[in-house]
Amino acid sequence: MSDATLHATTRDPDDFAVQIADQVESFLVSVTEVAKGDEPGSAVPFLLLEVSQLLLAGGRLGAHEDILPDERYEPDLGPEQDVDELREDLARLLEPIDVYSEVFDPYEPRKAPVAARISDDLADVMADLRHGMAHYRAGRVTEALWWWQFSYFSNWGSTASATLRALHSILAHIRLDQPLAELDGLDTDQSLADDALEDEAGQVMAEEIAGPLGLRPVK
């Protein structure tokens, strides 16, 4: 991508920076709306869609050559926007299926899965994306792209990918009529042995998940 493209200020829909920023903005707005809890029955499929679309932007950033910021030191953005309220709203909304098990690095041998939360993951991704969006809205387009690309590799890319797998698993278990084993104390402060994953994966209750989604109940 040329330097002119990186520094473009017009809203050209074909511009790489504009397309990435639009996808980021769509995710920020959509997840904020979902967290309000106005339509709990559609939360899981809608989040699946939004995370999938965000990862398309991440893939484009990842495939792009390294983007270097204009300044050696990142400009001060002031206080970061708090995501704790969003995190808590998502946790309440997703309470039956918020906790899941995840392997941080599939190429690191003999690492046992650990417990994670979809609500924590989404809030962390939101924080990373908002940071870059602050640069973008201030007219620092290259800085925004650099931050989104850097944080894609260092944090939000893997976090969003793990969240996508969890959301996909929820819907797959429901629609394929494959209930999970009963939840027995799974929480984010414990690690999981390989042979305990199935026992502690969690029961996705039909009346809490399948019913609101308009799907046939899990037997």
Residue-level pLDDT at 167:
95
* Spatial separation of the C-alpha atoms in residues 17 and 174, rounded to whole Å: 38
Residue-level pLDDT at 181:
61
pTM: 0.76
From 104, 116, 131, 124, select the one nearest 31 (Cα to Cα).
124
Q: Is 114 helix (H, G, I), strand (E, B) or coil?
A: strand
Q: Positive or negative, the Cα torsion across 43, 44, 46, 48?
A: positive
Q: Can you name the residues that pair with 102 across neighbouring β-strands?
A: 114
DSSP character at residue 99: E
Residue-level pLDDT at 14:
54
* Spatial separation of the C-alpha atoms in residues 48 and 34, rounded to whole Å: 12
Residue-level pLDDT at 114:
83
CATH fold of 3-95+118-179? Four Helix Bundle (Hemerythrin (Met), subunit A) (1.20.120)
Q: pLDDT tens track of the chain, all 219 residues? A: 444 444 444 555 459 999 999 999 999 999 999 999 998 889 999 999 999 999 999 999 999 999 998 887 777 777 778 899 999 999 999 988 999 988 767 777 767 778 899 999 999 999 999 999 999 999 999 999 999 999 999 999 999 999 999 999 998 888 887 776 644 445 555 444 434 433 443 344 344 444 544 444 444
Residue-level pLDDT at 199:
40
Residue-level pLDDT at 12:
56
Residue-level pLDDT at 161:
96
Cβ 160 vs Cβ 58: under 8 Å: yes
Residue-level pLDDT at 39:
87
> Distance of alpha carbon 189 from its chain centroid, rounded?
21
* Spatial separation of the C-alpha atoms in residues 75 and 135, rounded to whole Å: 9
Consecutive H or E run containing 115: strand 114-117
Domain chopping of the chain, boundaries? 3-95+118-179
